[in-house]
Amino acid sequence: MPNLRLTIEFDGTNYAGWQYQPRNPTVQGELESAAGKALQQKVTIYGCSRTDAGVSARAYVANLHTDSVLSAERLRLALNHYLPDDILVLSIAKAGPEFHARHSALRKNYAYRIVRSRSPLRRRHAWEFWFKLDVEKMRKAASLFEGRRDFQPFCQTRDAHGCCTVESVLVEPAGEEVTVTVRGDRFLYKMVRRIVGALVACGSGRLTQKDIRAALAGRPFPPFQTAPAHGLLLDSVEY
């Protein structure tokens, strides 16, 4: 059957992540429910990432197979009609038969937003961290994560190893906000959030670069802080 590629924006606040769960609301669950109503058939939608509960996305990529006669644009409109307001299908396009949203991805780009103050208007999508934060220390520590590393100390995984290639980690201040952007070929469970947690701990004086180097070298180290999920955004996926 024809293979369709979907680009989706969603606010993850009210969801237990992307992947379907029978007893909790998920983004995949909402999309498959909407697709079932629009296409009058059961559909499986494959996502590019198993985002954690509370994580949002600007351009999440998914794909589905269907023999429906609906055009891509009519299907997009129908899906958005049935979807809740915090999930929006931005575009639908035909994809090659071998395209898979997750397995075909070359790299992913995440952005983590930190607000160095109290902010009722931004707190749903940012980590309110109103303690002293040395951005220069964060920048120096960020470079330690670049390259191919075993990130087991910075994730939860059952894999025999946690090897990933992180191409860049950038720490960018703008007024009272700090954005950490991470680009890499793949990311394990909680990996980006623990990298951010380590950078914030370093910037606030609770960790040093030496501590991070030791953990990356495989030496025993206490678990790293996991940054709150609501500050994380899956910004884009490259194919």
C-alpha to C-alpha distance for 197 and 226, rounded to whole angstroms: 5
Does residue 52 carry a catalytic annotation?
yes
Annotated catalytic residue, options 11, 52, 211, 235: 52
Pairing of β 107-115 and β 46-47:
unpaired
C-alpha to C-alpha distance for 45 and 34, rounded to whole angstroms: 11
155: left (phi over 0), alpha (psi -120 to 50) or beta: beta
Specify the DSSP element, H or E, that contains 125: none
Q: Please give the DSSP secondary-structure letter assigned to residue 98.
A: T
Residues identified as active-site: 52
